[in-house]
Structure 1
C-alpha cells in the first residue's frame, strides 16, 4: 500500500506497452489503486523488490524473462513470496492454465479480457490476502496476550501495537500510547540515548538492541526497565521494531529466579517470527536465478570499475557470502566476527548501493559486476 495516499500498489509486468498503459489507466479510474509499469521481466523483478506492491499482474510470454521465471524468482524470496500474483496470457490452452496454477499463481486471465473480469480478480485476490494478514495479526495477538512482559511494535510514527502486559506495567491503554514514541515515555536523562538507539535499529545499523532506561508510567511514577528491541518488517515491507520491556524489580521467571536476558530475547524472537519477513537471509537458489536474469547487465559492465561504490574488503566478503545463501550467523562464524558486525556491514552495503534490502544489494552487485559470484 502506498503510505502517502492509502491506495493499493499494483505492479503491471507487461512488455506490450500499450496494453500495460491501458490496464494502468483502468486501475486509476477505480481511485483505490496506484499502478506501476515494468516493461519486461527483469525490470519487473527489480521493481517488485523496490516497491513491495500489494499485487502483481504479469504477462507470461515476454521476451527476456518470461512470466513463469519471474514468478519462481519472486516466490523464492521471503520478502516477496506472499504477494498475490495474477498471470496474463494470450494462450487459453488448459495445460497452460494448469501449469500456472500448479506453480502457485493466484489467478490466470486470458487476453483479451473484459475490464470487469480483471477488476473482480484483483479485488478477490486482495481480499484473500487481507484475510491472511488479519489471521497473522490474530496469531500475533494470541501470543503476546499471554505474556506478562510489556510487548510492543513501533514504526517511525510511534507505537502501533501493545499487549495487555504493557498496559498492566505502564498504565497506558492502546489509544493513549498510539502515536507516541518510546523516547516520549522515558525520562529526560535517557531520551537522547534511546532516540539514537531507535534510529540505528530503524536504519538497520543495529539489527537488535539491548538497553536499559527509566520509564515514566501513566501516573508519572518512574520505573527501571530492561528493553530488548528487534528490527523487523511487516508483511508489506514497512519498517517496524518489535520490543519487549521488563521491569527490573519484577524480573522473576516462573522458576522464581531472576529473568535473564536470554529468556526475554527468546520471547522476542518468537514474536518476531509472526510479523517479520526473515529478510536477512537469501537462499543460494534465489541468487542463482538472479544471476541468470541479470547476466547480460553484468557482461555489459565487465570492463568498468568493479568497485566504483568503494566497498571495503570486509564488505565484499560479507556480500559474497550473502550471495552464497549463508545466514548472518554462518557469515559471522566464517569471518570470525560478531553477528552485529555482519549486520553493520550489510547495512553499509544497503546505504552504498541505495538498496532497501539485501536482495536489492545482490541485484546491484550482479548488474554492476561488483564481485565475482
Structure 2
C-alpha cells in the first residue's frame, strides 16, 4: 500500500457503533490510522493530541449535527487546514450547498461504497498536501524578506529569527539567540508580562502587547504582534517586533493620542486600500488560505479573490506576497 496512506491519521466523529465499524474497517484495510471520538469534548481532545490529517463526522453526532460540530471545532481547535468530511443519509442539494458554504470539504453518502470513499480521500489528501507545501513556501518568503523583525518560538524558546530581527537588535547571525526573557523586559508592567505569557501558553492568539521595552544598549521599545502559525510550523508562535519611534512612544504616554491613527491613515492613503482590503491583506500575511479567510470574514471565496486582485492592482504587485511586503514595509505591521 502507498506510504502516503500509512502516514495519514483520520479522526472519526461517529457515535454509532455499526457505522464506525464499517468505516473503520475500510480505512484500516487501506492502512489509514484511525482515532474515534463519540463526544464533542473527546473530539477536541483528539484534535489537540493527535492533529489528525482529516476528520470524518456522521451527520447526527451525539446531540449535534455535523455542521454544528464543525462550527464548534473550528472555533476551538481547527487552526490548521484539516479536511472535514460529512457522512449523510441522502443527497439533499440544499443541505449540501449549506455545508459547502460553511466550509465542509466533501461528503460521503450511505450506503458506504469503499471505492468512492477511497477516491475522495486520495483527492483531498493530494489537495491538502499541495496547499500545505504552498503555505510553507509563502511563509518562508514573507519571513525572510519582511522588513519587520520576526521570531518563531516554541513557548519561551526562540527557534529562529529573520534577518530584519538580527539587524534591528544588532545580533551576529553566527551566535545563538538568547531566550525571550533576555530580550523583552516586562519589569515595568506585570500586566504586559501576564498578557505575553498567556499568548505563549496558547490561551490567547493573534494578540498585541504594546510598548514593550527591549533589553540592550539601544533601549528600544516595540509593539509585539503574536500569532499562532500552526498552519505552517506545527505548534509554533510567530512574534512580530515593531520598533517604535520616539514620537509613537510619546503617544502611549498620552502626549499625542491621535498620532498613531493619523500616521497610519497617511500611510494607508498611499495605496488607497479599503478597510476590508487591509483586513484581507493582514490575514493573508499569516498565510491563511482563501477558504479560511472567507470563513473568518463571513464572505465568499470569490469575494476574497476579488479583493486580493484589487490589492495587487492598487499596490502594483505581481502577486499577493509582493503586495504584503510593500504594505508591510509602509505600515510597519500586518
- In the superposition, the TM-score normalised over structure 2's length comes to 0.52
Q: Which runs of 5+ in 2 are unaligned?
A: 1-6, 253-258, 268-278, 289-295, 299-334
Alpha-carbon displacement from aligned partner over 1:300-346 (angstroms, at most 9, x marks no partner): xxxxxxxxxxxxxxxxxxxxxxxxxxxxxxxxxxxxxxxxxxxxxxx
The aligned residue for residue 11 of structure 1 is 11
- Are the structure 2 counterparts of residues 31 and 226 from structure 1 closer, same or farther at C-alpha, using a change threshold of 3 Å? farther
Q: CA deviation at 1:20?
A: 2.0
Q: How does 1:9-48 map to 2 (within 5 A)?
A: 10-21=10-21, 23-24=23-24, 33=33, 35-39=34-38, 42=40
The aligned residue for residue 233 of structure 1 is 228
Q: CA deviation at 1:156?
A: 2.0
- Are the structure 2 counterparts of residues 8 and 182 from structure 1 closer, same or farther at C-alpha, using a change threshold of 3 Å? farther
| Paired residue total | 249
CA distance in 2, matches of 1:30, 1:226: 56
- Are the structure 2 counterparts of residues 156 and 122 from structure 1 closer, same or farther at C-alpha, using a change threshold of 3 Å? farther
The aligned residue for residue 244 of structure 1 is 241
Is residue 229–residue 238 contact of structure 2 (8 Å, CA) maintained in 1?
A: no
Candidates 283, 286, 289, aligned match of 1:275: 286
CA distance in 1, matches of 2:152, 2:109: 42
Once the two structures are overlaid, the 10-residue window that deviates more, 147-156 or 121-130, is: 121-130
Q: How does 1:16-165 map to 2 (within 5 A)?
A: 16-21=16-21, 23-24=23-24, 33=33, 35-39=34-38, 42=40, 53-62=52-61, 64-71=63-70, 74=73, 77=75, 80=78, 82-91=81-90, 100-101=99-100, 104-115=103-114, 117-141=116-140, 143-156=142-155, 158-165=157-164
Is residue 138–residue 287 contact of structure 2 (8 Å, CA) maintained in 1?
A: no
Q: CA deviation at 1:15?
A: 2.5
The aligned residue for residue 212 of structure 1 is 213
Q: CA deviation at 1:165?
A: 0.9
**SS of 2:164 mapped into structure 1:** helix
Q: CA deviation at 1:84?
A: 1.6
Q: Root-mean-square deviation (CA), in Å?
A: 5.1
CA distance in 2, matches of 1:43, 1:17: 18
Is residue 135–residue 287 contact of structure 2 (8 Å, CA) maintained in 1?
A: no
**SS of 2:127 mapped into structure 1:** helix
CA distance in 2, matches of 1:231, 1:23: 40
CA distance in 1, matches of 2:223, 2:76: 24
CA distance in 2, matches of 1:15, 1:229: 44
Q: CA deviation at 1:55?
A: 2.3
Q: Which runs of 5+ in 1 are unaligned?
A: 1-6, 216-221, 278-282, 286-373
The aligned residue for residue 168 of structure 1 is 167
